[in-house]
Amino acid sequence: MSVGEFDARVMAISAPVRVENSVFGSVSALGPPEYMQARSEEIITAVLATASDLGETLHG
């Protein structure tokens, strides 16, 4: 999670996409901090699930 690291108007929540125990890429959600912080638990859950699903899809 990053809040204002590069731009004070942006917050990001990211998770790695793993394929066969290696990092293949990442999934991120970005938005205004006031929105992201209010819903951070929901967004974290969605980002983690998406990264996991994508890793499983890519693994075949």
What is the model's pTM? Answer: 0.89
Flag whether pLDDT at 60 surpasses 80: no
C-beta atoms surrounding 43 within 10 Å:
19
Could you report the per-residue pLDDT of 20-59, keeping only the tens digit for each? Answer: 989 999 999 999 999 999 999 999 999 999 999 999 999 8
Rounded CA separation 6/3 (Å): 8
40 token code pair: 């951070």
Flag whether pLDDT at 6 surpasses 90: no
SS3 19: strand
- CB contact set of 54 (below 8 Å; sequence gap of 6+): 17, 25, 27
Domains of the chain, by residue range, sit at: 2-59
